[in-house]
């Protein structure tokens, strides 16, 4: 198989969402948490920080940083506030039509 024959990850996910209602529910349920995870990982990598060092900077525990980066459970507003205060990251939360979305700004 050629590299050019491979589907993009977005296509694979969309195919799976269409074919598997349980996957779609879980994917949609964790969207908010994944957005936070991406922002935290990008920040940490961009500032050459370990999880432990980011924990020190934010006042969170290292396991809490690991859970944020895993992206399976949405963090609370207090956790997001601590992240923004310590890192300068900004988030916009959009809650509408029964779902919560997050936009890093």
Q: What is the CA radius of gyration of the chain?
A: 16
When pLDDT is cut at 50, 70 and 90, the band that residue 28 belongs to is confident
* Burial state string for 95-105 with b = 16 or more CB within 10 A and e = fewer than 16: eeeeeeebeee
**Predicted local confidence at residue 5, as pLDDT:** 83
Range 41-56 average pLDDT: 97
Say which range, 27-31, 40-44, 75-79, 96-100, has the weakest mean pLDDT.
Answer: 96-100
Contact (CB, 8 A) for 83 and 40: yes
| CATH of the domain spanning 8-104, picked from 3.40.190.10, 3.30.420.40, 3.40.1160.10, 1.10.260.40 | 1.10.260.40
Question: Using CA atoms, how far apart are residues 72 and 37, in angstroms rounded to an integer?
Answer: 9
pLDDT, one tens digit per residue, over 53-74 is: 999 999 999 999 999 999 999 8
Please list the residues that pair with 93 across neighbouring strands. 102
Q: CA-to-CA distance for 27 and 17, rounded, in angstroms?
A: 8
Domain ranges of the chain: 8-104
């Amino acid at each position: 198989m050629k590299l050019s024959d491979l589907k993009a990850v977005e296509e694979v996910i969309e195919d799976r969402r269409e074919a598997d209602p349980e996957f779609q529910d879980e994917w949609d349920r964790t969207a908010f948490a994944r957005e936070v995870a991406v922002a935290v990982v990008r920040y940490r990598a961009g500032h050459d920080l370990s999880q432990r060092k980011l924990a020190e900077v934010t006042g969170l525990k290292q396991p809490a940083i690991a859970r944020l980066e895993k992206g399976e459970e949405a963090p609370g507003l207090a956790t997001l506030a601590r992240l923004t205060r310590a890192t300068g990251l900004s988030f916009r939360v959009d809650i509408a039509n029964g779902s919560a979305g997050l936009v890093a700004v």
